[in-house]
Amino acid sequence: MNNYYAVDPYEHAAVRDAMLLKISAFPAARWFALIDRGFEHGLKHFGANGENEYCLYRHGRLERLAEVSPCLISLSNFSPERLKGFLGSLLVHCRTRPMLSFIQSGRTGDEIADGWQAFLEVETDDAQRFLLRFADTRVLPALARCTKAIWDGLSNGLEEWLIVNRTGEMEALPLLKTGTVSLGNTGKAVIDSNEFACLLESGLPDALADQLHEHFPNLLSERGGAANYQLLQATCDLAKKYGLEAFPEQMALSVAVLFSQGNLLEDPQFESWMQQKPWSGGSLEAALGEYLEKMETTQ
């Protein structure tokens, strides 16, 4: 089964033309595409001139993962016509996957890649390490919102960082440049428990979408990816409000919301029902099923 991403495909020609205008407005600037080759695992790789590509997994144990590494691709060494064709091909390749963003910087590709080495893996307060997939455009806005110091370190030396957001629109990320990056004993950036919790919470709608695609794909196929994300985000907000912390409960609520075409969230009695928690000691899934049946009979 193919992977599912809660994003809308963009109009590649419109994004291409917007980027060409950006680049032509700053002809002396260095521009790069940042792609997450993790989304190409087991699939066709986008071909770029090796001289213009800067792999981030270039040192130590991560070097073994170079095939799925985030990579910077320089856009500054093309003639206008070649750049138009290159951008068009790149955008078509990435169109349905959240794997592409654009960067303007006064630094070289090697300087940016070297400066990012401390952020490829981050440490929690208790010294656990995990990969930070910051080239994933679903993750980037959450990093800017949740991890001020880490985001400051990532955006250091950058003039612009542009993503194609979930609705297919170009979006500029805020470059704060005000924090101090804390490095752990291994030289990795440190993320505190609140920041880590914020990232996990931000990723919950996508985690639910992934499981829904595996077990209930028909519930997602009735609307676009961005619309599904909005419904799942609203579901997560409701689950948090009423203390549904277990993933199976969040999943059950998501199934009910999507099955109802989102009408469950608009039902005037539903929040009162959630507050009373009539399923306590029993099955939330079964209780939601009964509630939906009653909704249908009263409509």
Q: How far apart are the first and last CA of the chain?
A: 36
d(CA 288, CA 270): 10
Residue 88 banded pLDDT, cuts 50, 70, 90: very high
d(CA 120, CA 96): 24
Does 176 score more than 80 pLDDT? no
Spatial contact of 84 and 16, defined as CB atoms under 8 Å apart: yes
d(CA 40, CA 72): 15
DSSP structure class, residue 183: B
Read off the pTM.
0.91
Say which residue, 21 or 177, is predicted with more confidence: 21
d(CA 135, CA 113): 12
Report residue 122 CA to chain centroid gap: 17
Give rounded-to-5 percent helix, strand, coil for the chain.
50, 15, 35
Residue 299's pLDDT is what?
64
- For residues 271-297, average pLDDT: 92
Residue 31 vs residues 23, 26, 48, 147, 151: alpha-carbon distances, Å: 7, 9, 15, 25, 19
d(CA 32, CA 34): 6
Tens-digit pLDDT profile for residues 194-251: 999 999 999 999 999 999 999 999 999 999 999 999 999 999 999 999 999 999 999 9
In the chain, where are the structural domains located?
12-191, 202-298
> Could you give the angle at which helices 193-215 and 247-259 cross, rounded to 10 degrees?
50
Strand ranges inside the chain, DSSP E: 30-36, 53-55, 70-74, 100-105, 121-123, 129-131, 158-164, 170-172, 189-190
Q: Indicate the average pLDDT of the chain.
A: 92
Tens-digit pLDDT profile for residues 92-125: 999 999 999 999 999 999 999 999 999 999 999 8
Coil vs helix vs strand at 108: coil
Does 293 score more than 70 pLDDT? yes
Does 69 score more than 80 pLDDT? yes
Does 181 score more than 70 pLDDT? no
